[in-house]
Chains A and B, each alone.
Chain A
Amino acid sequence: MPSRLCIISSLLGLLSANPIGAETVAVVYPETREPYQSIFLSIIEGIEKGGRFPIKEYVLKPNEPVENILGWLTQEGIGTLIALGASGLELADKLPDPMRPVVGAVLIDPDTTTRDVMGITLAADPEVVFERLKDLSPATKRINVVYNPERNAWLIKRAQEAAQRRGLTLRAFPAKNIRESALVYREVLQDVRAQADAIWLLQDDTTLDEQAVLPFILKEAWDGNLVVFSSNPTHVKRGALFSLYPDNVGMGRRLATMATKGASPGNDDIVPLRDLSTAVNLRTADHLGLDLSSRDRSQYSLSYP
């Protein structure tokens, strides 16, 4: 215990220097396999490009004691920490106050996060999502979304504001589990208007069964000429119109900015992801009467088929 106290007190001195100048920043990410490994490396590449500071990487092993990281930080004389992935968030929870790491590459619910952290959640920013929706499907007037109020109430609140700003109506239906969400989706799909309505699939595995309910939604949407969009490119492959997924390098740049300057004044400490790439399904677009094929393909990072 005395040694741990000693390490913590040393770190407090280092971390209090935030925001930093050209001090070394530690990037901690979990030991994982491909393709996840490449994603973390892309984010680190973005951090290197976005922050004008040297970085040192630390690969977290499964169930690695927090003392190891604390000892390493002290030994390296590092005061700023960027923690990536779910393991990074767990680590951030265990760090002693007032250490305030920057967390990224993980889904975070700011309403339920007990630890005082700043960072970027993987949830796509509704502002960007709806902007893209308006761009790709101008006829859409109403967005329907099923969400878990225990996880995504904060996101829906932001989405309501973003929709309002763009003249869109957001119909948000709460559901606490997959069973409830399935019933809600069925009701929603019975009360939609072709072309004008869209279904927004959130990144939440408590409200979407991908094996049974997703095919049902996609089929009904296809039959009813509805736009379906999400944050998962595989949904696009299966028939959704478009999906906004993380631009890892861009996310890394923004994390680096946060680590350097802290959260922007007036903004929340946990912000949704704004650096997003687009995947579109051109066949679905044709089916919906949207002429996306003639557009500049460079707008889309991925296109199917």
Chain B
Amino acid sequence: MATSAGESGSVAPRLSGISFRQQLVLVFTIGIACLALASSLATSTLSNRLLREQIIEQGRQATQTLAAQSTLALLYQSSENAKEATEAILAFPGVRGVGVFDLAHKALLVKGVVSLPPGGPAQWPERLQLDQETRDHWYFVAPVQAQGGSREDRHSPFASSPDATELLGYVRGVMGKEDIRALAGKILGTNRGVSIALAVLLLLILLASTARLTTPLRNLADIMKRAEAGEKEVRAKLQGTKDIVEMEIAFNTMMAVLEAREGELEKARDAALELARIKSEFAANVSHELRTPLSGVLSILDLLHDMGLTPKQREYVELATSAGGSLLHLIGDILNGVHLTICGVQS
């Protein structure tokens, strides 16, 4: 689990660097490629199996036909009769060799590929069978039997004696595998071609569908970026799937709420600025209205100080001048403070 978690953790950052559409395209491409490969392999395997069964059945039928046609040849030990039968069977597709053998397993006629299987002793069974399979061939063998009466007569309720069947010999048939290999190659090639073509078609359809799905998302992302950049009155156009439309509605609602709040804040700011301006005007007016008479008082006190006053009077005048200067300074500080406050609000 730790390993898989680690792997997923390592894959996730790699994928996070690409867009949603690119991720979808990547996943689809890999999936469809795997699907095409698997389906072509599965189809080829199944086709090969069916083909193999079909060719084995053809081999059985060819051998059975040869057995039926070799009866006279074995009855009369006539290789000339056997020749006709074997030539006809050799014309069957895939048949590479045939042989007719008597009861002592001595060949009456052999044509084409040697029909006795390589290796161990050949089998001489009582019924048709696939004797051996090698890399290049299938070897079939069937008994040749003379049968009295017609097929219907053998099951007739009028015959009192048992079925008369006489074993006359055997026939062998060899089916080659070249044809199945060539066919298997063709099938695999065709399957691959068809699978790839279908995969490309499917991929194009999926890309078109993905584009249809992701375009509204991309548009929404662009709108959000514009909103982030400070653009006003930005709204998403309602398009795409239901989920995306809900996201767009939510975004539009959120933007509407944000803009409403921003408007309220602007109103509050404007009110504050107006108040500051009024305060500033008031301070300026008060400053002017206070300083002017106070400056007059101080000027008169300066004049009075220079008019030869008694020490006591001079002392009182100086006290009054000092108090007036302090008051003027205090008024200046207050006005400066008010002015600074207004400037801070305005900025």
Given contacts A177-B166, A179-B168, A182-B75, are A210 and B159 in contact (CB under 8 A)? no
CB distance from A187 to the nearest CB of B (A): 11
Chain A 94-135, CB-CB to B under 8 Å as 1, else 0, gives 000000000001111000000000000010000000000000
Chain A 39-82, CB-CB to B under 8 Å as 1, else 0, gives 01000000000000000000000000000000000000000000
- Return 11 A-B CB contacts under 8 Å, by A number: A32-B157, A105-B158, A107-B160, A107-B161, A178-B164, A182-B146, A183-B76, A186-B76, A205-B154, A205-B164, A213-B75
A267 contacts chain B at the CB level, 8 A cutoff = no
Q: Which 7 A-B pairs have the closest CB atoms?
A: A205-B148, A212-B71, A205-B149, A182-B75, A178-B146, A209-B146, A85-B157
CB distance from B218 to the nearest CB of A (A): 77
The answer to whether B160 touches A212, judged by C-beta atoms less than 8 angstroms apart, is no
The answer to whether B157 touches A182, judged by C-beta atoms less than 8 angstroms apart, is no
The answer to whether B72 touches A208, judged by C-beta atoms less than 8 angstroms apart, is no
Given contacts A122-B158, A208-B148, A211-B68, are A179 and B75 in contact (CB under 8 A)? yes
The answer to whether A210 touches B149, judged by C-beta atoms less than 8 angstroms apart, is yes
Q: Known contacts A183-B76, A210-B150; can you find 12 more A-B pairs with CB under 8 A?
A: A108-B160, A178-B147, A179-B168, A182-B75, A182-B146, A205-B148, A205-B153, A205-B154, A205-B163, A205-B164, A212-B146, A216-B72
How long is the Cα–Cα vector from A210 to B13 in the complex, in angstroms? 83
Of A86, A209, A212, the residue contacting B159 (CB under 8 A) is A86
B16 contacts chain A at the CB level, 8 A cutoff = no
Chain B residue at smallest Cβ distance from A234? B150
CB distance from B153 to the nearest CB of A (A): 7
The answer to whether A206 touches B76, judged by C-beta atoms less than 8 angstroms apart, is no
Chain B residue at smallest Cβ distance from A90? B160
CB distance from B189 to the nearest CB of A (A): 44
CB distance from B48 to the nearest CB of A (A): 36
Inside 8 A of B147's CB, which chain A residues have their CB?
178, 205, 209-211
How long is the Cα–Cα vector from A183 to B78 in the complex, in angstroms? 12
Given contacts A183-B75, A207-B148, A210-B150, are A86 and B164 in contact (CB under 8 A)? no
Interface residues, chain A, CB within 8 Å of chain B? 30, 32, 36, 40, 85-87, 89-90, 105-108, 122, 151, 177-179, 182-183, 186, 204-213, 216, 232, 234
Q: Which of B129-186 contact A (CB under 8 A)?
A: 146-150, 153-154, 156-161, 163-164, 166, 168
Interface residues, chain B, CB within 8 Å of chain A? 68, 71-72, 75-76, 146-150, 153-154, 156-161, 163-164, 166, 168
Of B150, B159, B163, B168, the residue contacting A107 (CB under 8 A) is B159
Chain B residue at smallest Cβ distance from A182? B75
The answer to whether A107 touches B158, judged by C-beta atoms less than 8 angstroms apart, is yes
How long is the Cα–Cα vector from A105 to B156 in the complex, in angstroms? 11
Q: Which residue, B68, B147, B160, B163, has most C-beta atoms of chain A within 10 A?
A: B160
The answer to whether B166 touches A151, judged by C-beta atoms less than 8 angstroms apart, is no
How long is the Cα–Cα vector from A213 to B156 in the complex, in angstroms? 21
Of A86, A179, A206, A210, the residue contacting B157 (CB under 8 A) is A86
Inside 8 A of A108's CB, which chain B residues have their CB?
160
Given contacts A177-B166, A210-B150, are A151 and B161 in contact (CB under 8 A)? yes
CB distance from A242 to the nearest CB of B (A): 18
How long is the Cα–Cα vector from A185 to B72 in the complex, in angstroms? 12
Inside 8 A of A213's CB, which chain B residues have their CB?
71-72, 75, 146
Inside 8 A of B150's CB, which chain A residues have their CB?
210, 232, 234
Chain B residue at smallest Cβ distance from A40? B157
How long is the Cα–Cα vector from A189 to B45 in the complex, in angstroms? 57
Chain A residue at smallest Cβ distance from B150? A210
Given contacts A178-B75, A206-B148, A213-B72, are A106 and B164 in contact (CB under 8 A)? no
Q: Which residue, A178, A216, A234, has most C-beta atoms of chain B within 10 A?
A: A178
How long is the Cα–Cα vector from A157 to B161 in the complex, in angstroms? 21
Of A106, A122, A151, A209, the residue contacting B75 (CB under 8 A) is A209
CB distance from A180 to the nearest CB of B (A): 10
The answer to whether A182 touches B76, judged by C-beta atoms less than 8 angstroms apart, is yes
CB distance from A89 to the nearest CB of B (A): 5
